[in-house]
């Protein structure tokens, strides 16, 4: 094998190793982001449910207030 061909092969192997590491890093970042998205989605769902529960406990938001007891 010629030196030029060997050098080109070495360069390709180095590039491949760097690309493989980059892909692994990107995969780890995406996995972490999806985990965070799932956690935030669950929190938003719980908050929406808490808001609904609070609205139900307080009564209808636009319902007229009942008259005071002295009427």
Q: What is the helix, strand, coil percentage profile of the chain, to 5?
A: 80, 0, 20
Percent of the chain clearing pLDDT 70 (strictly above):
92
- Extents of the domains making up the chain: 24-48
Please give the mean pLDDT across all residues of the chain: 91
23 to each of 8, 14, 16, 27, how far by Cα in Å?
22, 14, 10, 6
Per-residue model confidence as pLDDT tens digits over 26-58: 999 999 999 999 999 999 999 999 999 998 888
Single pTM value for the model: 0.61
What pLDDT is recorded for position 67? 80
Measure CA of the first residue to CA of the last residue in the chain; give whole Å. 105
């Amino acid at each position: 094998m010629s030196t030029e061909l060997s050098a080109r092969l070495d360069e390709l192997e180095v590039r491949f190793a760097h690309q493989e590491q980059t892909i692994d890093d990107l995969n780890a970042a995406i996995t972490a982001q999806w985990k965070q998205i799932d956690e935030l989605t669950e929190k938003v769902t719980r908050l929406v449910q808490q808001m609904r529960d609070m609205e139900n406990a307080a009564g209808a938001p636009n319902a007229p207030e009942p008259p005071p007891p002295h009427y």
